[in-house]
């Protein structure tokens, strides 16, 4: 401890800026880790609380996919002996048209009986919140809002509130306000209750319910009750405890979580190399000090511990800062994660409480400190091995021994071999083990390969600038250890940029391809700008009306809904098979001998998307079991086609079959082809005039608008790459600044000689700049190589576990090329300050010997 105060503290003070930069590595890694997990947890927590609040005292919920079920199911459920109370529910998001309020979830309930399940008012119980229940039921515009929502928007009992519903904007009258607590805390208060039968009308449910909430008789175990109800209702219904709704969220967020976790691991890895680099540097700079300590009799252990303790302390500081930054980031991220939840409820979750989970923070702290200490281990060991005599001399280079290099190369070779075996085995866990092995092997090879690259660079640099260039290259060649840290960090982050960029670009290209081949209707008639919003549906009868509009050549209906297949919520796409066969065919991967369209049309099979087949490991002839309200529908796969519309996969079913089994004749989107010679814009106008008059929610989108919308979604993928580029640049700057700082210390004498024999300051700067650029180039070269491998792995992960979409391997040369100037500039930028400090060094000091 005393050593720490005597030796470490003055050093830290002297190199405050750089010490801070070191800690930045840890801060970055820990912050990303904390942010991702905290934000996820906050959203999960808020979501679970919401589910809980909405479920009220319900022990079980009965659903049947997104279609809901007819009203008679309620009586069947109420007739089941185990059931004490069963109430129907409709859940529908509605736009509030209030600034900053977004959507509100409307809970349609049967106000005559629902109170036994839901606590609308914790304080006074019963229906006292409504002045007159009879008026509430008699007037379909009645609505009960939460106190939170009322306060936010200055609403009172009797106020009018306009909501966007399926039938257009509707004025509602606030006839009750729920006091705070319980149900009102769902969605941060963006929730309202109305009569279920009125809700059926304004949300286009017909005579259907979305859900039945129920309570079992006392003494009936939940599992037994569920089994009994399931048996009574048949396979088309899901009978689940409310909490299981969180599972849907999990699968929605799974893709996001995996990619963020990969990023977080990379951030930590990169952070580790920055720390390694910094400590290696600190050891170099303080070698004389260490030498003195050793000469004065400090044992090696003590020297090593000194550095390990330092690293632990910077680990703690970095982690604390990282946690703080992470919490801030989490708050920012919550919004974007929450918006993903809109897919489930149609209302953005308001995760107001971003709480620090002590366990998570402990883990983050442990990760930060461990990473820091692991990274400092080698430098600390080197410090302990400092020879007291040598250390007191100036200008000794860190030389990587041949033995060490051999060991590394051997390790790398073994790891590569192991990785290949793992990859050959191929199953998930082995695959990831192989991935990790390759990464580690690449890291082990960094010193050797960067040495090799530096040797290649030397003649080039020398040719450019005989003295400055050669010296810059020599600087790299002679101290691979000094350079390797920065190069390794650069390699990892650039590899990640290239990998993610490659996946992103390939996804983009594939989607564009897919759009070009299948997204060919001229117009789309939908209920929302957002085509994936499935809450708005039209009656099928609208189809003929649209067909009758002059200029319309053909109308196709699409009904898409999520259904559970083998526990995965996949997208069921219901089409008029015949018309799709004619127009709008998707690219076929393979099909059954009878012809997939023919068989699907005949109701003798389903077509599935390529990614569905891969994710479910199913092939032609395998049976897909679809639970329908009318019982289990089991059909063989008769065709596999390319379709990018859903990450979990799509199952394509014929309309007639769907109508029969689901008893649902609604349509999400009409695809409209116009006659040759008709202007789509004219036709669009006519559709709006003729059909849109009765359908206030009806929107007609042009092909171009839909494309733009899809590409906009796809762009979000690319955003991830951009943020990675930012990290890469940061890493480059951090690593290069560190490396150069040490380099100019190591080369103090050399630079002094250069000046003594007539080198101008410009020339000194140039050699430092060239060294920086050389590090950048080597890092870039390694990054490109590593990125090529990383891209392969990321594509595999995407195909295997994320979306089932196997994208072709194409190296993103464009991104790699764009990185060149970016990284070179970053390198140059990083070198500015070290170069200045190099020319400011005292010449006398640089040249003299003690």
* Interface with other proteins (CB under 8 A): 74-75, 78, 84-86, 110, 112-113, 115-116, 126-127, 130-135, 137-140, 197-198, 201, 397, 466-467, 470-471, 474-475, 477-478, 749-750, 752-763, 839, 843-844, 847-849
Q: Which is nearer to other proteins, 589 or 839 (CB)?
A: 839
Q: Which is nearer to other proteins, 123 or 424 (CB)?
A: 123
DSSP SS3 for 566: coil
* Rounded least distance, CB 166 to other proteins, Å: 15
Q: Maximum Cα–Cα distance for the chain, whole Å?
A: 102
* Rounded least distance, CB 762 to other proteins, Å: 8
* Rounded least distance, CB 697 to other proteins, Å: 20
Q: Which is nearer to other proteins, 116 or 634 (CB)?
A: 116
Q: How many other C-beta atoms lie within 10 A of the C-beta of residue 666?
A: 22
* Rounded least distance, CB 756 to other proteins, Å: 5
Q: Which is nearer to other proteins, 235 or 753 (CB)?
A: 753
Q: Which is nearer to other proteins, 128 or 407 (CB)?
A: 128
DSSP SS3 for 40: helix
Q: Which is nearer to other proteins, 470 or 687 (CB)?
A: 470
Ranges of H-type helices in 56-143: 72-78, 133-138
* Rounded least distance, CB 759 to other proteins, Å: 5
Q: Which is nearer to other proteins, 476 or 490 (CB)?
A: 476
Q: Which is nearer to other proteins, 255 or 467 (CB)?
A: 467
Cα separation, 622 vs 613, whole angstroms:
10
Q: Which is nearer to other proteins, 807 or 846 (CB)?
A: 846
Q: Note whether 60 and 226 are within 8 A (CB).
A: yes
Q: Note whether 37 and 356 are within 8 A (CB).
A: no
Q: Which is nearer to other proteins, 81 or 426 (CB)?
A: 81
Q: Which residue has the tokens 């943020």?
A: 723
Q: Which is nearer to other proteins, 614 or 747 (CB)?
A: 747
36-61 burial, b if ≥16 CB within 10 A, otherwise e?
bbbbbbbbbbbbebbbbbbbbebbbb
DSSP labels for 497-554?
Answer: HHHHHHHHHHHHHHHHHHHHHH---SEEEESSSSTT--S--EETTHHHHHHTSTTEEE
Give residues with Cβ within 8 angstroms of 675, minimum separation 6. Answer: 551, 552, 553
First to last CA, the chain: 30
Q: Note whether 178 and 211 are within 8 A (CB).
A: no
* Rounded least distance, CB 757 to other proteins, Å: 4
Q: Note whether 107 and 193 are within 8 A (CB).
A: yes
Describe the crossing of helices 428-464 and 761-797 by its angle, rounded to 10 degrees: 160
Q: Note whether 651 and 565 are within 8 A (CB).
A: yes
Q: Which is nearer to other proteins, 132 or 582 (CB)?
A: 132
How many residues are listed for the chain in this entry?
850
* Rounded least distance, CB 138 to other proteins, Å: 4
* Rounded least distance, CB 112 to other proteins, Å: 5
Cα separation, 352 vs 186, whole angstroms:
11
Q: Which is nearer to other proteins, 81 or 550 (CB)?
A: 81
The torsion angles phi and psi of 298, rounded to 5 degrees, stand at -70, 130
Query: Is the four-CA dihedral 370, 371, 372, 378 of positive or negative sign?
Result: positive
Q: Which is nearer to other proteins, 423 or 754 (CB)?
A: 754
Cα 20 to Cα 318, 322, 368, 590: the distances in Å are 9, 12, 15, 58
* Rounded least distance, CB 633 to other proteins, Å: 30
* Rounded least distance, CB 114 to other proteins, Å: 9
* Rounded least distance, CB 129 to other proteins, Å: 11
Q: How many other C-beta atoms lie within 10 A of the C-beta of residue 131?
A: 13
Cα separation, 703 vs 71, whole angstroms:
38
Helix, strand, coil shares of the chain, percent, nearest 5, are 60, 15, 25
Cα separation, 734 vs 269, whole angstroms:
14
* Rounded least distance, CB 840 to other proteins, Å: 9
* Rounded least distance, CB 446 to other proteins, Å: 21
CA angle 41, 44, 47 (to 5 degrees): 150
Q: Which is nearer to other proteins, 193 or 531 (CB)?
A: 193
* Rounded least distance, CB 500 to other proteins, Å: 38
Q: Which residue has the tokens 């993103």?
A: 812
Cα separation, 690 vs 688, whole angstroms:
6
* Rounded least distance, CB 816 to other proteins, Å: 31
Give residues with Cβ within 8 angstroms of 157, minimum separation 6. Answer: 131, 174, 175, 176, 177
């Amino acid at each position: 401890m005393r050593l720490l105060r005597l030796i470490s503290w003055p050093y830290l003070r002297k190199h405050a800026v750089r010490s801070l930069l070191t800690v930045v590595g840890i801060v970055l890694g820990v912050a990303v880790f904390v942010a991702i997990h905290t934000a996820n947890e906050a959203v999960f927590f808020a979501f679970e609380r919401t589910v809980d609040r909405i479920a009220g005292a319900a022990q079980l919920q009965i659903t049947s996919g997104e279609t809901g079920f007819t009203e008679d199911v309620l009586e069947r459920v109420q007739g089941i002996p185990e059931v004490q109370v069963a109430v129907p529910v409709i859940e529908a998001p509605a736009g509030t048209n209030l600034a900053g309020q977004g959507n509100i979830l409307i809970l349609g309930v049967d106000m005559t009986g629902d109170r036994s399940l839901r606590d609308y008012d914790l304080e006074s119980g019963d229906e006292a919140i409504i002045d007159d229940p009879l008026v509430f039921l008699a007037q379909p515009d009645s609505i009960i809002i939460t106190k939170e929502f009322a306060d936010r928007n200055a609403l009172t009992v009797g106020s009018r509130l306009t909501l966007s519903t399926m039938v257009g904007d509707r004025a509602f009258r606030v006839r009750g306000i729920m006091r705070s607590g319980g149900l009102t805390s769902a969605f941060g208060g963006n929730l309202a209750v109305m009569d279920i039968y009125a809700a059926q009308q304004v949300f286009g449910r017909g005579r259907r319910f979305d859900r039945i909430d129920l309570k079992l008789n006392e003494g009936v175990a939940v599992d037994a009750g569920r089994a009994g109800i399931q048996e009574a209702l048949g396979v088309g219904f899901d009978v689940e405890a409310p909490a299981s709704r969180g599972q849907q969220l999990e699968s929605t967020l799974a893709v996001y979580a995996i990619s963020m976790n990969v990023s977080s691991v990379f951030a930590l890895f990169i952070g580790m190399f920055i720390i390694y680099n910094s400590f290696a540097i600190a050891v170099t700079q303080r070698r004389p000090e260490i030498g003195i300590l050793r000469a004065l009799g400090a044992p090696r252990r003590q020297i090593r511990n000194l550095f390990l303790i330092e690293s632990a302390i910077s680990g703690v500081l970095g982690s604390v800062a990282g946690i703080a930054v992470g919490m801030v980031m989490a708050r920012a991220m919550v919004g974007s994660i929450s918006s993903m939840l809109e897919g489930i409820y149609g209302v953005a979750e308001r995760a107001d409480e971003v709480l620090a989970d002590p366990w998570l923070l402990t883990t983050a702290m442990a990760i930060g400190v461990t990473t820091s200490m692991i990274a400092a281990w080698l430098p600390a060991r080197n410090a302990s091995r400092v020879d007291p005599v040598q250390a007191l001399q100036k200008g000794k280079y860190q030389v990587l021994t041949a033995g060490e290099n051999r060991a590394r190369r051997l390790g790398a070779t073994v790891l590569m071999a192991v990785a290949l075996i793992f990859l050959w085995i191929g199953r998930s866990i082995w695959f990831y083990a192989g991935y990790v092995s390759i990464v580690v092997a690449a890291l082990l090879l960094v010193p050797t390969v960067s040495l090799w690259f530096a040797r290649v660079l030397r003649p080039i640099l020398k040719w450019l600038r005989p003295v400055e260039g050669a010296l810059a290259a020599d600087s790299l060649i002679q101290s691979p250890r000094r350079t390797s840290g920065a190069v390794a960090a650069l390699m990892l982050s650039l590899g990640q940029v290239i990998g993610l960029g490659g996946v992103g670009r390939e996804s983009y290209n594939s989607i564009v391809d897919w759009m070009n081949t299948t997204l060919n209707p001229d117009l789309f008639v939908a209920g929302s700008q957002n085509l994936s919003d499935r809450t708005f549906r039209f009656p099928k009868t609208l189809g003929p009306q649209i067909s009758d509009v002059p200029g319309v050549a053909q109308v196709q209906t699409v009904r898409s809904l999520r259904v559970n297949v083998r526990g995965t919520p996949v997208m069921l796409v219901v089409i008029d098979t015949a018309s799709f066969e004619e127009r709008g065919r998707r690219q076929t991967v393979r099909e059954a001998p009878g012809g997939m369209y023919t068989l699907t049309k005949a109701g003798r099979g389903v077509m599935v998307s390529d990614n569905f087949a891969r994710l479910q490991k199913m092939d032609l002839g395998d049976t897909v079991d679809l639970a329908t309200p009318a019982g289990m529908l089991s059909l063989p796969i008769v065709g596999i086609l390319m379709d990018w519309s859903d990450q979990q996969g799509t199952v394509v079913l014929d309309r007639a079959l769907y109508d029969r089994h689901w008893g649902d004749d609604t349509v999400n989107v009409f695809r409209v082809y116009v006659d040759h010679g008709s202007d789509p814009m004219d036709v669009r106008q006519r559709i709006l005039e003729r059909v849109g008059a009765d359908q206030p929610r009806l929107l007609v989108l042009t092909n171009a608008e839909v494309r733009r919308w899809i590409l906009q979604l796809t762009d979000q993928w690319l955003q991830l790459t951009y943020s990675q580029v930012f990290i890469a640049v940061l890493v480059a700057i951090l690593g290069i600044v560190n490396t150069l700082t040490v380099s100019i210390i190591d080369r103090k004498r050399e630079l002094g000689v250069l000046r003594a024999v007539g080198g101008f300051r410009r020339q000194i700067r140039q050699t430092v700049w060239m060294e920086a650029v050389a590090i950048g180039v080597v890092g870039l070269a390694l990054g490109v190589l590593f990125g090529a491998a990383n891209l392969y792995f990321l594509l595999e992960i995407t195909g295997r576990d994320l979306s089932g979409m196997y994208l072709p391997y194409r190296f993103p040369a464009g991104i790699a090329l764009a990185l060149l100037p970016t990284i070179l500039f970053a390198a140059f930028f990083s070198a500015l300050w070290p170069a200045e400090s190099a020319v400011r060094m005292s010449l006398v000091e640089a040249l003299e010997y003690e």
